[in-house]
Structure 1
Amino acid sequence: MNEKILAHFAEQAMYCDMFGSPFTSQLIRAMSEDYQSGGPIAAQLEEWNTSPRADALALRLAGYFHHAVLVGREAALAAHYPSSLANWSIEDVWPLARALLEREPNAAAAFIRSAPQTNETRRSIALLAAFLRFADSWKGEVDMLEIGASAGLNMNWDLYTYQTKSWAWGAQGPVQIDTDWNGPPPPIADIAVRHRAACDLNPLDISDEHERLQLRSYVWPDQPERLARFDGAVALARETGVHVERADAAHWLAQKLSARADDAATIVYHSVFLQYPPREAREAIVDAILSAGARATERAPLAWVRLEPEALTDDARDSPRMVIDVTTWPGAKRRIVGYTDGHVRAVYAV
């Protein structure tokens, strides 16, 4: 028995409770008990030898069950999921999920080989706050480069409608983004996006129903607001023709930055991504940005916007927080905009 898997299950269940998904929390705890008792979860994970925490292993498995529900492959399980039954019970859900895993171990093994991609659209409000900090001093056009973009839903950040108790931004549209904003609001400014591009090592194609439902399966099934926001963002992305290039972020970014325009600003951005690439790849990404920053001019500045774990950005090893920050060149000036969590349920601006 792998104690790291048990520790990961316990931690992820705790986060699901904290982030308002009792269903996913209880499902993961049921998986943990099955693993300890030598059930089909144990058989499925017998040869899992990489870091379960880094792999988000519990969310891969939870996504597998949700996917079976979404594609209509498991009607009995679907009937007990939160989308069908408000008074769901894990005592009813788990035996059906367990039976599915026993019947289709190969399908489960194939599904969990892919890392979860939530493409959480609510993160756009954290990114927007950093973009607005930059736009407070830069009034020209902007070219956007997103790395680790998944299906590209956050490429359309400027087409979403943002509303908090203290500030708002954007015209009325199909995707409504809110959060519990604490502290000073960002400066409200116009942002003139001229070009946008994005890459991901394994982008999901939302025009393909199978891949779209795979992406949706990672949204926790007892959170209807997140699911509705996802559906609206997907519809908008299909309408606007969002495209994410399949590429290694370090190579793609180095190429894009070496050929960037000299008559506009460039913003490189990413959200809850940088902890996933291997250290060498992460260092290459940072090197590409720093090299481009050294070449930036007042006529063509560079901004680097991040929504990433504070443990990574500031070596705060025990911190559960995400940092929202923007670094600008010329000058390599870093500004922390605020702190939040992975779902951006609240922002604490500084």
Structure 2
Amino acid sequence: MNNEPLDYWTFFAAEARRVGAPLYERLSMGVAADEALREFANGAQVGQPPANILFAAVHFLLLRGAKHALRDFYPNLGGTGSGDPFPAFKDFVDEHRGSLTPLIATRVTNTNEVGRSALLAPAFRTLAQEAGEPLHLIELGPSVGLNLLWDRYRVLYSKGGTYFSLGAPDSELSLECELRGDRLPPLGPAPKVASRVGLERNAVDLSDSDARDWLKALIWPDQVARFTKLERALRLHGHSTLNIRNGDALDLLPEALAAAPKDQVVCVYHTMVIYQFSDEMRDALDAILIMASLRRPVWRISLEGTLSGDNPLLLYSYRDGNKEKRTLGLCHPHGTWLEWLA
């Protein structure tokens, strides 16, 4: 993703507009018109999205107390500024270039948006209805693993004034998701999860305040409620012991599949991870799952973005070396709404 063309930034601005992030929409358009800033953002590692990394690096310094007029434009920091934030942003980057450069060069977008669990839950219910349970979960790129615990949150789905409360009723974290369209997803009890494992190239140490602040910095400042959800999810996470293996997911996946108990339904899943994969890596992922399906059925749930701006929720089945794909629904990338299509 390095050396991005100009239309990358206009695309990112459109994405920010679509998900309700006016600050990053305006900043993206400003960077699109500023060659020096675009070049600076291209200092991100190959495969990392320059916009996310640049904006998170700036946000990280602000979260850590950097004093600057730019703070006035960040709602999560109490900012209520009006007017154009881009001049202040450009000045901040110029003033803090020495601190920003190593952040941009070394950090990665291991966002952990727990709201996506509201989207995963009906997908796993669909899977269990068809394949049975208990489930053995393998998440690719789980960050700290908040969405490995998708069945331990309370989810409040709403449709036309009617509400459906599912999941763990006593959970400290309650997620909200608007249901759109004519169809309802399966809203029964969560299937039993027998075991879960995450494969993470950039494991996060939550005892490190720097790592926790970087997780927060990856959240878009306009979306204040996401910060509260993250804090509550991290507290709940602290009471769980998760098996997250550090390393390249494609290197670890064959062994993880082979080790799955034979009496459990195997499901590999990922949310907003594959955009960092090259075409060769995507083909390799498919090949691994196809090969594994020669020994047993394997399922896959995918929640990723597309160039058209859609966020399809997909269910794949791999059996006897064959792959089938189904679109379960379309959704907001942070889980605020779901249109069920299956």
Question: TM-score scaled by structure 1?
Answer: 0.84
Shift of 1:157: 0.7
Shift of 1:249: 1.0
Distance (Å, rounded) in 2 between the aligned partners of 1:327 and 1:80: 42
Shift of 1:342: 2.4
Deviation string, structure 1 residues 168-221 (Cα, Å, up to 9, x no partner): 321221222222212222251441111111012112222211011101101111
Conserved in 2, the CA contact under 8 Å of 1:257 and 1:288? no
Deviation string, structure 1 residues 97-155 (Cα, Å, up to 9, x no partner): 43332233232121122232322212112221110001224443221110111221111
Partner of 1:344: 335
Secondary structure of 1:122 counterpart? helix
2:74 is aligned with 1:81: yes
Distance (Å, rounded) in 2 between the aligned partners of 1:100 and 1:106: 11
Letter in 1 for 2:168: A
Deviation string, structure 1 residues 284-318 (Cα, Å, up to 9, x no partner): 2211111222211xxxx532111123x5xxxxxx5
* Aligned with residue 313 of structure 2, among 320, 324, 348: 324
Q: Which runs of 5+ in 1 are unaligned?
A: 312-317
| Cα distance change on mapping 1:48 and 1:158 into 2, 3 Å | closer
Letter in 1 for 2:109: P
Q: Which runs of 5+ in 2 are unaligned?
A: none
Secondary structure of 2:314 counterpart? strand
Partner of 2:128: 135
Partner of 2:282: 282
2:299 is aligned with 1:303: yes
Conserved in 1, the CA contact under 8 Å of 2:331 and 2:337? yes
Distance (Å, rounded) in 2 between the aligned partners of 1:211 and 1:342: 23
2:8 is aligned with 1:8: yes
Letter in 2 for 1:277: F
Distance (Å, rounded) in 2 between the aligned partners of 1:49 and 1:210: 19
Distance (Å, rounded) in 1 between the aligned partners of 2:282 and 2:115: 24
Conserved in 1, the CA contact under 8 Å of 2:135 and 2:195? yes
Secondary structure of 1:275 counterpart? helix
Letter in 1 for 2:173: V
* Aligned with residue 112 of structure 1, among 82, 104, 117: 104
Partner of 1:99: 91
Letter in 2 for 1:151: V
Partner of 2:167: 170
Partner of 1:235: 235
| Cα distance change on mapping 1:207 and 1:55 into 2, 3 Å | same
Distance (Å, rounded) in 2 between the aligned partners of 1:150 and 1:106: 27
Residue correspondences, number: 330
CA RMSD of aligned residues (A): 2.6
Distance (Å, rounded) in 1 between the aligned partners of 2:300 and 2:3: 38
Secondary structure of 2:293 counterpart? helix
Partner of 2:212: 212
Shift of 1:43: 6.2
Shift of 1:333: 4.9
Partner of 1:44: 40
Indicate the larger mover: 274-283 or 330-339.
330-339
Conserved in 2, the CA contact under 8 Å of 1:207 and 1:238? no
| Cα distance change on mapping 1:227 and 1:146 into 2, 3 Å | same
Shift of 1:94: 4.2
Partner of 1:245: 245
Question: TM-score scaled by structure 2?
Answer: 0.86
Conserved in 1, the CA contact under 8 Å of 2:196 and 2:242? no
Indicate the larger mover: 93-102 or 258-267.
93-102
Partner of 1:180: 178
Conserved in 2, the CA contact under 8 Å of 1:142 and 1:195? yes
Secondary structure of 1:294 counterpart? coil
| Cα distance change on mapping 1:155 and 1:90 into 2, 3 Å | farther
Identity, % of aligned pairs? 23
Letter in 2 for 1:130: A
Distance (Å, rounded) in 2 between the aligned partners of 1:138 and 1:180: 27
Distance (Å, rounded) in 2 between the aligned partners of 1:90 and 1:110: 30
